Amino acid sequence: MPSILITGAGSGVGRATARMFLTNGWQVGLVGRRVDALHQTAGDHEDALILPCDVTDEQAVDQTFDKAVAQWGRLDVLFNNAGASLGGAVVDELDVNDIRQLLEVNVMGAFIAARAAFGHMRRQDPQGGRIINNGSVSAAVPRWGSAPYTVSKHAITGLTRSLSLDGRPYGIACGQIDIGNALTEMAAKMTKGVPQADGSMAIEPVMDVQNVAQSVLHMASLPLDANVQFMTVMATNMPFIGRG
């Protein structure tokens, strides 16, 4: 039975993806800070492993990943999903401490989790595995007032490319899924109106988050000699192509 660790598994994309993998017969490690939320994600699935952890704490991450591998025997996939966002604002109106916190979660948290997964995949026998990073359409085209978040997602693209190269000798594949307007708690505001590049407010199309979960499952299920390097899955009519 294949195994996957999913960070940020307590809500949103992480929860939907975890349930998709559990339904499809995977062993799933649910990583997140809120224990109650992780249990809600797991429901009655016996193959769910509850792993409370803050991804910005490298010692906690190492211990958490060690625990999962000790139970499963190996780690096949990491879905590096945990992240945070800030409300839209121009850069001089942002609190530097809020920016630092976002970058700590979105960049360092992703890096720490990838580092731990890479180490296990490199040492296990047979060697290899797959890391899937959650990017964003903001990694290519920013929204208004999104400088910290956009910077963090550009960093994820750099991490994806570097891990793809560094993982080759060890059979470790790395890909990235860039998501646009999946309907989660975070995206609910888009159904009421969000700022546009021209200063107006507009309701934006959204898509079912299950489309994201299904896409991650596809990426994870490929043999290691095939890789989805970058995938964009988005609401068809959202302002991405032509944004700005």
Catalytically active residues are 149
Nearest to 107 by CA among 129, 83, 78: 83
Q: For residue 126, say if its preceding peptide bond is cis, omega within 30 degrees of 0.
A: yes
DSSP 156-207: HHHHHHHHHHHTGGGTEEEEEEEEE-EESTTTGGGGT-EE-TTS-EE----E
Other CB atoms within 10 A of residue 53 CB: 23
In whole angstroms, what is the distance from residue 45 CA to residue 169 CA? 36
Cβ 113 vs Cβ 174: under 8 Å:
no
Q: How far lies 91's CA from each of 94, 146, 183, 214, in Å?
A: 5, 8, 27, 35
In whole angstroms, what is the distance from residue 49 CA to residue 38 CA? 9
Contacts of 217 (CB under 8 A, 6+ apart): 17, 20, 21, 24
For residue 83 the two structure tokens come to 């992240």
